[in-house]
Amino acid sequence: MAGFFVRCKVGVCTVGRLLVWGRGVGQTVGMKYSTGTLVVVGILVLGLITAVTGGVGVYMAQHGPLEAPVKVIVDQGMGVRAIASRLEQANVIAHQDAFVVMVKATGMAGTLKAGEYAFEPGISLRAVVNKLALGDTENRSVTIPEGWTVKQAIDRLEAVEGLTGHAVRPEEGKIFPDTYAFRFGADRAKVLETMTSRMEKELADAWAARDTTLPLKSPEELLILASIVQKEAANDDEMPMIAAVFYNRLNKGMRLQSDPTVMYGAELDGDRLKRKDLTEPHPFNTYLFAGLPPTPISNPGRAALMAVARPARTEAIFFVADPSLTMHVFSATYEEHKRNVARYWKDVKKTLQPKAVANVIEGALVTPTNVVSATAKEI
């Protein structure tokens, strides 16, 4: 192998070769060319280099073999060859050797990132390498619905594919319900941390915006009542009214008599609640004990938090579900409430099957939770 040098003097240039090994180590051999000749040689060499690199560039930019969209997972710790093999198996690239050569020749071997990648049909080799080097990975997501308990939320988080590790269940009400994006291979604990941090922020915002005349002693009490409103309401629009009813009852020294609190304390998973359940003595039975339950009973959303922070203004202390089950009917007196309850059952029994009617007669409350709670508010 040899290195070359060029020395020019008075219009004549000398091309020298420095031998690196073999016979005549360290010996220089020189040949004299005119400057014009050397320029021609340089142009030829430059043209050859351009042709070679240009050809490589064209190859790298060509449409790849992929015919349909595909997702490929690059695991943490995979080497260049292993990545190339997986891409070739998925038909993203035609030849893994070309991928390996390009990545190593461009010094990008240490920049390829793990994750889940989406490739479009015909993607070029250059675009594939750039995508991996930039870490342009796909987002996955997990949704926690409003009103779910932390157990339900953690069960879903544990079941989601693409996450690693385990999440420790936080206290009830500490997860903000929403859809959360994550990258393949993300830590479950980190995703959960995002959920709990979000609830901290949303609760702080609601507490800061609250009506300070409300009988709330702490953000935790706001969260507890919001968790009840979340479970009682048929829709977001009526949440301020439901919150107001509960405040009115608290101010009058009345028990909340909320079925969802009873169901939570009794660990009832379904939506059936029998009258005997209302007499079971546990801290969440708001038919027996006055005031708020000891903890939240669900994870409320922003609408419930803000409804409790800024409730409607009303004299109502009762509500019962409309037969459509899409809203509630509110009343300020017990007599009015009884009429609303009677009207509800009259309309509902028209649509119940004989077996369901029998359940009603023997005392089982067979309607959805937010209906049952209203029908039982008779003190």
Residue 285 tokens, joined? 């039975």
For residues 114 and 12, state if they share a domain: no
Are the CB atoms for 155 and 167 separated by under 8 Å? no
Residue 145 lies in a domain: no
The amino acid that residue 351 corresponds to is T
How many domains, in total, are found in the chain? 3
CATH of the domain at 127: 3.30.1490.480
Q: SS3 for 184? A: coil
Query: Band of the pLDDT at 262, cuts 50, 70, 90?
Result: very high
Task: Flag whether 121 is in a domain.
Answer: yes
Instruction: Give, in order, the Cα–Cα distances in Å from 148 to each of 105, 136, 214, 263.
Output: 53, 33, 26, 13
54 and 90 both lie in a single domain: no
Query: Does the residue 185 lie in any domain?
Result: no
Range of the domain at 75: 70-134
Furthest CA-CA distance within the chain: 119
Q: Is residue 120 part of a domain?
A: yes
One domain for residues 116 and 226? no
Question: Do both 227 and 354 map to the same domain?
Answer: yes
| 93 domain residue, yes or no | yes
The last residue of one of the domains, among 17, 37, 61, is 61
Is the predicted pLDDT of residue 162 greater than 50, yes or no?
A: yes
Write down the pLDDT at residue 324: 74
Give residue 26's pLDDT band: very low, low, confident or very high (50, 70, 90): very low
Q: Mean pLDDT, to the nearest integer, of 93-118?
A: 93
CA 105, distance to chain mean position in Å, is 38
Residue labelled with tokens 């500490």: 174
Q: Flag whether 336 is in a domain.
A: yes
Q: Which of 189-193, 266-270, 291-295 has the lowest mean pLDDT?
A: 266-270
**Cβ–Cβ < 8 Å for 191, 262:** no
Helix ranges (DSSP H) in the chain: 35-61, 80-89, 96-105, 125-134, 150-159, 188-208, 219-232, 239-251, 259-265, 302-309, 334-349, 354-361, 369-375
Distance CA 43, CA 48 (A): 9
Q: Do both 122 and 217 map to the same domain?
A: no
In a domain, 266, yes or no: yes
Whether residue 358 has pLDDT greater than 70: no
User: Which pLDDT score is estimated for 164?
Assistant: 94
**What is the distance between the alpha carbons of residues 376 and 103, in angstroms, rounded to a whole number?**
70
Residue 373 has pLDDT above 90, yes or no: no
User: How high is the pLDDT of residue 161?
Assistant: 92
CA–CA separation, 364 and 366 (whole Å): 6
- Rounded to an integer, what distance in angstroms lies between the CA atom of residue 105 and that of residue 88? 19
Q: Are residues 227 and 307 in the same domain?
A: yes
Do 365 and 221 belong to one domain?
A: yes
234-243, 248-257, 364-373: least confidently modelled range: 364-373
Mean pLDDT of 171-193: 96
Provide the 10 A C-beta neighbour count for residue 289: 16
pLDDT at 347: 81
CB within 8 A of 54, min separation 6: which ones? none
Q: Looking at residue 54, what DSSP letter applies? A: H
pLDDT, averaged across the chain: 83
Contact between 292 and 256 under an 8 Å Cβ cutoff? The reply is yes
CA distance 379 to 373: 13
The token pair that represents 43 in the structure block: 């142009």
DSSP state of 107: T
Q: Are residues 121 and 237 in the same domain?
A: no
Average pLDDT over residues 107-124: 94
Residue 178 in contact with residue 109, Cβ under 8 Å? no
If asked whether residues 369 and 282 sit together in one domain, one would say yes
- Final residue of a domain: which of 103, 134, 165? 134
Q: Name the residue with higher pLDDT: 274 or 32.
A: 274
CA torsion 197-198-200-205 (nearest 10°) is 150
pLDDT band at 49 (very low <50, low <70, confident <90, very high): very low
- pLDDT at position 365: 40
Domain boundary among 134, 162, 190: 134
289 shares a domain with 230: yes
Look at residue 313 in the predicted model and tell me its pLDDT: 96
**Is 57 among the domain residues?**
yes
Same domain, 302 and 364: yes
Instruction: Judge whether residue 255 has pLDDT over 80.
Output: yes
Same domain as 74, residue 50: no
- Is the distance from CB of 91 to CB of 67 less than 8 angstroms? yes
Q: How far apart are CA 93 and CA 99, in angstroms?
A: 8
